[in-house]
Amino acid sequence: MSILIIIPAHNEADNLPHILPRLKEVIPEADVLVVDDHSGDATALVARQLGAQVVRLPNNLGYGGAVQTGFRFGAEQGYDFAVMMDADGQHDPAFAPDLLAPVMAGECDVALGSRHMGGMTYEAGLVRKMGMKLFAWITSALTGQKVTDATSGFQAMNRDVMSFFSEENYPSDFPDADTLIMLHFAGFSVKEVPVVMHERIAGESMHGNAMKNLYYIAKMLLSIFMVYLRYHTQAGALRPNATAEAAS
């Protein structure tokens, strides 16, 4: 079974040396892809020196565009499974095998790493906490499944999900709760797995201040509304090979 670790990165040269060697220790059979989102530092060079494959984007596409590039790479190369994680050190590589286990066992299509079931070694700001609770509640309500950490980007998935997200379905800026709701309407199953998350090691977070967090909340609410309008009437029909599976 082939596994791809997808790491979107923008100016993360200082953080990658803390992450990539640990990944090789805990999951040596996996290939690592760093998607360099047109960084202004040595992100691509450091990633290659540490043994990762690198796709360097000619323009800055943002987090969602970089992640989708990884999905397209994985789908085109025929990987069976993928793990998506951040390059800032927030997602602990030690939990990558825990996320993969239920997906590889066929228990779910996506395993979502939950810091609220596992733990956090940092203190999130008030606005960020409110956003986490709000989107967990909305996602749970719209999917009919309790979700504790709808804003987690630490995920494992199978080939069908990679193919699904490699098309036009993936948001370009802040893919979080909206993608979980989309997965539900597309007929994919999601299971939460306890993980521990940390503060970023170096650099500036995209959730670095209250104004950025408020902007994120507003954008995510709009994205969720658009996902609901677009997909809820097609529930179960969006999944790749859905017609063939129904016929069989």
Domain CATH number, residue 36: 3.90.550.10
Q: Please give the Cα distance from 201 to 220 (Å, whole number).
A: 26
Give the residue from 179, 162, 198 showing the smallest Cα distance to 87.
Answer: 198
Q: Per-residue pLDDT for 236 more than 80?
A: no
Residue 212 is assigned to a structural domain of this protein:
yes
Which range of residues forms the domain containing residue 236? 3-241
Overall domain count for the chain: 1
Residue with the bigger pLDDT between 43 and 212: it is: 43
Among 96-100, 176-180, 227-231, name the one with the lowest average pLDDT: 227-231
Place of tokens 């059979």: 29
Tens-digit pLDDT profile for residues 18-48:
999 999 999 999 999 999 999 999 999 999 9
Radius of gyration (C-alpha) of the chain in whole angstroms: 17
pLDDT at 210: 67
Hey, how many other C-beta atoms are within 10 angstroms of the C-beta on 244?
Answer: 8
Q: Please give the Cα distance from 166 to 11 (Å, whole number).
A: 24
Residue 248 is assigned to a structural domain of this protein:
no
Residue 58 is assigned to a structural domain of this protein:
yes
pLDDT at 227: 86
Residue 236 is assigned to a structural domain of this protein:
yes
Q: Is the dihedral of CA 198, 202, 203, 204 positive or negative?
A: positive
In this prediction, residue 246 has a pLDDT band, given cuts at 50, 70 and 90, of very low
Residue 22 is assigned to a structural domain of this protein:
yes
Residue 59 is assigned to a structural domain of this protein:
yes
Q: Please give the Cα distance from 197 to 192 (Å, whole number).
A: 14
Tens-digit pLDDT profile for residues 72-104:
999 999 999 999 999 999 999 999 999 999 999
Q: Is the dihedral of CA 155, 110, 149, 181 positive or negative?
A: positive
Residue 215 is assigned to a structural domain of this protein:
yes
Tens-digit pLDDT profile for residues 126-177:
887 888 899 999 999 999 999 999 999 999 999 999 999 998 777 777 778 9
Residues 6 or more apart in contact with residue 218 via CB below 8 angstroms: none
Q: Per-residue pLDDT for 194 more than 90?
A: yes
Q: Is the dihedral of CA 168, 175, 36, 41 positive or negative?
A: positive
